[in-house]
Amino acid sequence: MDKKKINKYKKLLLEKRSVILSEIEHLQKGALKKSQRDASGDLSGYVYHMADVGTDNFDREFSLDLASNEQKILYEIDEALKRIKEGGFGRCEKCGNEINPGRLEAVPYARFCIDCKEREETKTKIR
């Protein structure tokens, strides 16, 4: 892959990384750092209704799940940036073939070509 394309993908990865970091920060400032009392706006010492507690717990768990997924993507982006430095970016880690540019546009941190990724997902579904 030529240097111009590499720089294009590097810029795309850095932009995605910045967006994800701000999303994680937003999640942390929002639901993850608030106590149940703060989230409900109730400053009294009264016991919460079970439904309210359940809703708050669901919201916190949902936010944790989102943050976890964002963290995984952030890791993949950092790994892709390492591959750019090391010269392996754009090549499938399984078969060594070049990854389709359309795939890299959609998922610039992709490790595998479409064929290898489909085989991997098929194995996972069978288990």
**How far does CA 53 lie from the centroid of its chain?**
28
For 91, phi then psi, to 5°, come to -110, 140
How many of the other CB atoms lie within 10 Å of CB of 59?
15
Q: What is the pLDDT of residue 42?
A: 54
The whole-angstrom separation of Cα 82 and Cα 112 is 15
Q: pLDDT digit string (tens) for 57-82?
A: 777 777 778 888 999 999 999 999 99
**Dihedral, 96, 70, 68, 86 alpha carbons, nearest 10:** 30
Burial label, 69 (beta-carbon count in 10 A; 0-12, 13-18, 19+): exposed
Which DSSP symbol is given to 44? S
Q: How far is CA 105 from CA 18, 67, 78, 99, 102, in A?
A: 17, 23, 16, 10, 5
Of the listed ranges 72-76, 89-93, 119-123, the one predicted with least confidence? 119-123
Residue 95, pLDDT score: 95
pLDDT given at position 38: 55
Structure confidence at residue 45 (pLDDT):
47
Domain assignments of the chain as residue spans, ordered by start: 1-89, 91-127
Sign of torsion over alpha carbons 23, 29, 35, 41: negative
pTM listed for this prediction: 0.75
Kindly report, residue by residue over 8-42, the tens digit of the pLDDT: 999 999 999 999 999 888 877 776 555 555 555 55
